[in-house]
Each structure stands twice: as C-alpha cells, then as structure tokens.
Amino acid sequence: MPPPDASSDVAISIRNITQRFGDEGAHDAVLALDDVSLDIKRGEFVCLLGPSGCGKSTILNIVGGLFSPTSGTATVAGRPVDGAPHPDQIAFVFQESTLLPWYTVIENFRIALKFRGINKAEWDDRAMVALRAVGMASFARHYPDQLSVGMRQRVNMARGLCVETPILLMDEPFAALDEQTRMVLGEDLSQLLAARQKTIVFVTHSLAEAVFLSDRIFVMTARPGKIKTIIDVNEPHPRSPDFMLEPRFSELRNECYALLRDEIRRTVAAQRDPQPAGT
Amino acid sequence: MDLLSAQSRIIQAGFLLAMGALWYYATASGGVHRLLLPPPGEVWKTFYGLIQTEEFWRSVKVTFWSITQAYFMAASAGILAGYLLTRSKLITDIMEPVLSGLFTVPLTLLLPIFILFFGIGPASKIAYGATYAFFPVALNTIAAFAHVEERWLRAAQSMGASRWSTFRHVLIPSAFPVVITGLRIGFVICFASVLGGETIASAVGIGHNISLSAEQMEPGRLYAWIAFVTITAVALNLLLSAVENRIVKRDRR
C-alpha cells in the first residue's frame, strides 16, 4: 500500500482500519472491518456497496468521527479524524429521518446551523436556499410529522446541504423510501451535486442506486468487511434517468451483482443452520 | 369544541346527574339511614354553613400548604434524581427496578413510621406525601431521559453540538412530555397521600376533620367535607390535564 497521498486532491483517506466490536476472543466479539484502506478524491461521488452487516456504515461513522476504530487511521482534508466529528468538513445524512419532531422544518435547519457555529444572520437565508433546492421551501413552517416519509428525507437531505461542508456522508438515506420515490430523489441528488462539487460517500445496498449515483463503487465483502473491487462508472453528473436505460447501466449493475452474489450467500449462510457437506 | 367532545361532556354531566338522583332517591325513600348518608339538601346546608367558619378555612389552608410543600419536594427531588441516574446506563439498569419495586410497596404501611419520626403535625404528612409522590416523578423522568432516541443524539453529535446544546435542544424537548406526565401522576398521588395521611393520623387539616366528623357521628359535616375534596380534586385534575395536553400537543405533533 502506498503512503497516503499528500496532494490536495484526496479528500478522505483511510489507512489499515480494523474495527472490532466487543472484547477480542469473547464469543460475541465481531470483526466488522479487517484492514481496510481507501482514498476518496475531492469532488468524487463514491458508493460503499455490500451485503448487510459488512461494515459500510462503520466506515462512515469512523470517517465522520462518531467513534474511533480499533486500529488504523482516517484522514479528512489532511487532518486525522481521531474519533471527534469535524462539523466544518463533514455533514451526515442518516437513514432514518433525524429531524427533531418538536421543531418545525426551518427550526431544524436553524439548530443544525447553530450547532455548526454559523452566524445567526445567515441561518434563514441558508435554510431557504437549501429548501428551495429540494423543492420544499413552502413547507418550512411544517412539523416533520406533517410531512410524508419522502418529503422528510428530502428535507433531511437539504439540511445536510445547508451547512455547506465540502464532504457529505450519506448512510442509506433512501432506504426507508419506496422504489419510485427513491429514484426521483436519486435524480435530484445527482442534479444538486453536479452544481456543488462536493465529495460524497454514500452507503447503500441497492445496486441500481450505486450505479446511478457513483463515480466509483467500492464493492465490499461479507463480514469482516474488506474492499473487494472498485468499479468505475464513467458518466458525467448530472445524470438523467435515461442513463438507467443504457446497456452500460445494466452491464455495470450485473457486474456489481456478480461480485456481490457470493458475499450475500456467505452472509446468509452465516445466519442459518450449518448445511450438510456436499450441498 | 368538536361534536364528539361536546357529546362526551353531555354524557359526563348526565352521569353526575344520575349519581345525584340516585343519592337523592336512596335517602328520600328511607332505604339508607340518614346517619349513614344524609340527603343532598342537608349536606348542602351543612356545607354552606361550614364554609362560613374560620375553622374550615384554617383546615383547608393547612392541608393545601402541606400538599404544596410535599409536591414541591417530590417534584424537584424526583426530577433531579431521575435525571442524574440516567447519566449512567449501568446505574439506570441497577436503580430503575429498585425504584419501581419500591413504588409497588403500599407506602401507607410506613405512615406510622413517618408519625414516629415527624410527629402528629403536618410535617409527617408532608414527608409521607413527598416520599410517595417522589416515585412516579423519578420513574417517569428516568423513562424520559433513558430513552432519548439514539439517532437524534448521533445527529447532534455529528453536527458538532456541544454538551449544553444537546441537552437544551435534544434531551430536554425529547424528555419533556414524559416528565410532565410523571408530574401529573405525582400530583395526584401527593394529593391522595397527604389527605389520606391526615385522615388516618392528624390533629389538623381536611383529612382530620373528615375522620373526626365520622367519629362524632356528624354525617352532614362528613359529607360536606368529602364533597369539598371531590370538587377540588376534579377541578385540579381538569386543570392539570389541560396544561399537560397543551404542552404535549405543542411539543409532540
């Protein structure tokens, strides 16, 4: 493995990260990540694709500084993360809506900007710009529970954008949505990002989502998670839904599936009774 | 007020009227001896006379001041203890079953001990009421603060929220409605404990007057006092529920 790239076009660098949950040797100890290294370039959209439980979200949480890895280092913009969030560099968009139900949409944005230490005078402008970008400006005074799941996740995404960090970490943001809403939001995301030059790490187990959104797809193995292959998707952003109809889209999707199939089998096998030999 | 709640109000009023009619009929027909249950008119007359006496207002003052003090102690100690216990998951896991276990013990059994420690005056009833009401407040506060959704805390952490900001904008609003419910239950228990304590062993207060009237075979006075407590309790409960509903509705949509 070469030394970390010193040039400034690397936004996120992970070196030899191992993550163990529980005490070593304990019967319930889990090795989530095994010696993972990867570099993510500035302005790149990267998907972490893998079977459930392969440690995709763990990578995200380590990069985001929500906890420290058992061993190894993560570097963001040249600074080691060391288990502390860098809210000036990184914004998170989580799977479930993390909007606070006791605040209206606009209040949720204000709180996010306040947490980040943004000047109060900028709060409402920034919030409205981000809300307009996802077409939710007229819902600023609604409470999250008054919105549908899809609308909430749109707002949630906008909140991640309004803090204007160079890096966005998205942990299965569309997992709770139905297929159609998911596709529309994916297109919106591609549009939004083309204009913003952000570095995105996007965790998903949807093959189509990964191919449609990513510049590069990091396909992971079953637990303990490692990077199995990196797939390049050479297609400029913003991507139109027509991209999904091209033969190349299906080829890439099939390639991902072929890579994942064995890993998914292994994951499932680990979760059921041992099979007799020879079957 | 929408149609449904207007309808239910009418039914509730009808229920009260029916109870009153039953009371009237039971006494007017001579089915129930007037020493056990005097007719409503007699109770009303006694009540009207009673509220003109200085003794009545002195007793009311003693009891309500006792309840106020007991409730203040129970509420502040319960919220503080409940919050501090939840700062450690281990301590929460150890202490929550202990507290909820103790709360199932009828603390009325300990009233004689409170009398031994604090005497026959209001102090023993205050201590007893405060102790009893402490439990629901503390238990609800524990439930409120121990179960703040992990995803909200994680989101706040990822946004760089300080400890104080997280407390102010996530922990407090999340816990608030459950704590308020604990405070309401605590009040009901405080009210019942202080009055109950006074009825069993006291030299002053509403409860003392109730047991005294019974012992002296003065059913008019006995029921006048009971009617007063009932009306006060219903009014306070309506008030507390209204406050609770307002707060919970505003905070949890």
Please report the DSSP string for chain A in residue order: -PPPP-STTEEEEEEEEEEEES-TT-TT-EEEEEEEEEEEETT-EEEEE-STTSSHHHHHHHHTTSS--SEEEEEETTEE-TTS--TTTEEEE-SS----TTS-HHHHHHHHHHHTT--GGGHHHHHHHHHHHTT-GGGTTS-GGGS-HHHHHHHHHHHHHHT--SEEEEESTTTTS-HHHHHHHHHHHHHHHHTT--EEEEEE--HHHHHHH-SEEEEEPSSSB-EEEEEE---PSSPPGGGGGSHHHHHHHHHHHHHHHHHHHHHHHTTSPPPPTT-
Say which CATH number the domain at A35 has. 3.40.50.300
Q: What contacts A214, CB < 8 A, 6 or more positions away?
A: A45, A46, A47, A202, A233
* Domain presence at residue A195: no
* Domain presence at residue A61: yes
What pLDDT does A1 receive? 42
Chain A CB contacts of B167 below 8 Å: none
Ranges under pLDDT 50 in chain B: 253
CATH of B39-251, one of 1.10.3430.10, 3.40.50.880, 3.30.470.30, 1.10.3720.10: 1.10.3720.10
* Domain presence at residue A79: yes
What pLDDT does A218 receive? 92
**CA triple B139-B144-B146, angle to 5 deg:** 90
**Confidence class for position A277, pLDDT limits 50, 70, 90:** low
> What b/e sequence results for A99-116 when a residue is b if at least 16 CB atoms lie within 10 Å of its CB, and e otherwise?
bbbbbbbbbbbbbbbbbb
What pLDDT does B143 receive? 94
What pLDDT does A6 receive? 47
The per-residue pLDDT for range A177-221, each reduced to its tens digit, is: 888 888 888 888 888 777 778 889 999 888 888 898 899 999 988
In 3D space, the residue among A100, A76, A74 whose CA is nearest the CA of residue A86 turns out to be A76
**Which of B158, B179, B246, B249 should one mutate to test binding to chain A, selecting the residue with the greatest count of A CBs within 10 A?**
B158
**Distance between CA atoms of residues B41 and A206, nearest Å:** 77
**Distance between CA atoms of residues B130 and A29, nearest Å:** 47
What pLDDT does B2 receive? 61
What pLDDT does A2 receive? 45
A115 touches B at CB < 8 Å: yes
The per-residue pLDDT for range A51-76, each reduced to its tens digit, is: 877 888 888 989 888 888 888 888 88
Handedness of CA A87, A88, A90, A91 (dihedral sign): positive
The per-residue pLDDT for range A113-130, each reduced to its tens digit, is: 998 888 888 888 889 988
In the structure encoding, which two tokens stand for residue B33, read together? 């001896």
Residue A46 has pLDDT above 70, yes or no: yes
Q: Where do the domains of chain B lie? A: 1-32, 39-251
Chain A CB contacts of B158 below 8 Å: 64-66, 85, 87, 90-92
Phi, psi of A230 (to 5 degrees): -115, 125
Under 8 Å between Cβ of A36 and A72: yes
* Domain presence at residue A30: yes
What pLDDT does B3 receive? 63
Computed over its alpha carbons, how large is the radius of gyration of chain B?
Answer: 22
Q: Report chain A's mean pLDDT, rounded to a whole number.
A: 84
Residue A5 has pLDDT above 50, yes or no: no
pTM: predicted TM-score of the whole model, two decimal places:
0.79
Please report the DSSP string for B39-67 in residue order: -HHHHHHHHHHHTTSHHHHHHHHHHHHHH
* Domain presence at residue A168: no
In 3D space, the residue among A155, A211, A153 whose CA is nearest the CA of residue A182 turns out to be A153
* Domain presence at residue A114: no
The per-residue pLDDT for range A82-99, each reduced to its tens digit, is: 878 888 888 988 877 789
**Distance between CA atoms of residues A239 and A234, nearest Å:** 11
Computed over its alpha carbons, how large is the radius of gyration of chain A?
Answer: 19
Number of folded domains that form chain A = 1
* Domain presence at residue A60: yes
Please report the DSSP string for B229-251 in residue order: HHHHHHHHHHHHHHHHHHHHHHH
Chain B contact residues (CB < 8 Å to A): 151-152, 154-162, 165, 169-170, 173-174, 251-253
What Å distances lie between residue A9 and A6, A41, A89, CA to CA? 8, 6, 15
* Domain presence at residue A1: no
Domain that holds residue A42: 10-86+202-269
| Interchain contact, B173 vs A102, CB within 8 Å | yes
| Interchain contact, B155 vs A145, CB within 8 Å | no
Reply yes or no: is the peptide bond before residue A224 cis, omega within 30 of 0. yes
The per-residue pLDDT for range A135-187, each reduced to its tens digit, is: 888 998 999 989 888 888 889 888 888 888 889 999 988 887 888 888 888 88
Give the CA dihedral A202, A207, A208, A214, nearest 10 degrees.
Answer: 40
- Choose from A131-135, A237-241, B228-232 the range with maximum mean pLDDT: B228-232
- Please name the member of B159, B170, B251 whose beta carbon is closest to the beta carbon of A116: B159
Chain B CB contacts of A96 below 8 Å: 151
